Amino acid sequence: MRISILVQSDPFTSANGELALRFAQSVVHSNHDLYRVFFYKQAVSIASKHAIAPQDEMQLTEMWIDLARKSKVELIVCVAAGQRRGLVQTVLADEFEIAGLGQMVEAMLESDRTCLLYTSP
């Protein structure tokens, strides 16, 4: 099964950042095809190469990079959400790319399932 994920919540202020990563890892370990992960709204902050977590916390950015390298999944950052938060190509961590919502629409069309992970208001 081909699966894409849309992540919307701030990865550093709730457990949802870890939840999104764990879900993506379980998709890969279950021998499904993780097609694309699209970071939107506050979730784009995970893609900054300047986002460094304290040593006693999970290194989420590094863990996403590791997952992308091992599974060849695309990690896409919404261009508009990124620009609002000062994220441009030059400050993105390795393996993250900037693209528009069209990439998310394409992922939805190409995937059997799209999972939405967010924090409710």
Residues 6+ apart with CB under 8 A from 57: none
Residues 69-107 have pLDDT tens digits of 999 999 999 999 999 999 999 999 999 999 999 999 999
pTM of the full structure:
0.92
> Which residue out of 67, 75, 78, 79 is catalytically annotated?
78
Of the pLDDT bands very low, low, confident and very high (cuts 50, 70, 90), residue 9 is confident
Residues 12-40 have pLDDT tens digits of 777 778 889 999 999 999 989 999 999 99
Active site (annotated) includes residue 78: yes
